[in-house]
Amino acid sequence: MVMIISPDVAEEDVPGTIDKVSDFITSKGGEVTQIDRWGKKKMAYPINRFSEGNYVVSRFKIEPGMTTELEASLKITEQILRHMLVRLGE
């Protein structure tokens, strides 16, 4: 999953936002296997008046039925501007 966290979130609060998403995944029986912070990057186009955001890529395992619930949670989280889930065929 790729998440873009709002640049309004202070740099020291970004790990807390990532932890909230990771906690949600583990509370639903999932397992977070990797988190890669890319840092603050310029976006190709503005989202909610922001031209940059903190990019985070995470890998996790979760039951396919839980992805709908995860996406609903991400959509209502104000700190997350955008997200994209990609299923990896392993």
pLDDT in the model for residue 90: 63
pLDDT in the model for residue 89: 78
Q: Which parts of the chain sit beneath pLDDT 50?
A: none
pLDDT in the model for residue 47: 95
- Choose among 34, 29, 24, 33: nearest CA to 56: 34
Q: What is the pLDDT of residues 9-23, one digit of tens each?
A: 999 999 999 999 999
Is this prediction's pTM over 0.85?
yes
What's the CA gap between 90 and 87, in Å, rounded? 9
pLDDT in the model for residue 88: 85
Show the domains of the chain with their CATH numbers.
2-84 (3.30.70.60)
Q: Are 71 and 77 a contacting pair, CB within 8 Å?
A: no
